[in-house]
Structure 1
Amino acid sequence: MAQLPEATRLAGDDRYQTSIAVSNHFDEGADHQYIATGEKFADALTGAALAAKNGTGVLLVGTSVHEELQDFLTEKQPNLLTIFGGTVAVSEDVEGKLHSLFK
């Protein structure tokens, strides 16, 4: 890291919290947030290019929506969520919980 100019290390206690740290760091008032499963990497990896192009990161979920992610989304109040991978990757229950944060 010392060899990189102006490097910043972004981290959390786990991959889910790290995804929030990355989104917070790169957030440019993004009104569109991207969600992917944290269980397998393919959707998050491919979706990261689109998220970066739009000035944000990819937020990760598991079989539930972690409290830290709930707090992040409640604070940011994006107008649009894109969930990568469909219900095979992110369950309908998790999708419902995500959408319930905006009512």
Structure 2
Amino acid sequence: MDNDDLDNFIDQLKPLIAQMQQLQEQAYSIYKPQVDDLIKTQTKDKNTIERLLDYLLDYCGNEKVLTLFKKLCRYYWDINPRATADYIQAYREIWEDDLPISKVGE
């Protein structure tokens, strides 16, 4: 693939990338109040916390969502360190080597 083909390919991806970024921003808007409320109310329910961690994990390519994920992991650590470690490992397996979506095409 030469540089022109690569540039064309990246140009074709830009609308999809923009949609993904918008979806990640929406996820942040939806999940931030849930994370804040869960921590404020000192919720200890494993299913509630892990469901929210699962949702956040899908959008950790966004720095703000990643911050929420880390915040919830820090909270959950005192409740269930083993499960929290599993979520951290899942994050690493899914996202650690990936280029953040905001950096694609730069």
- What band does the TM-score fall into relative to the shorter chain? 0.3 to 0.5
More helix by share: 2
Would you tell me which structure has more strand in proportion to its own residues?
A: 1
TM-score by length of 1: 0.33
Q: Which has the larger radius of gyration?
A: 2
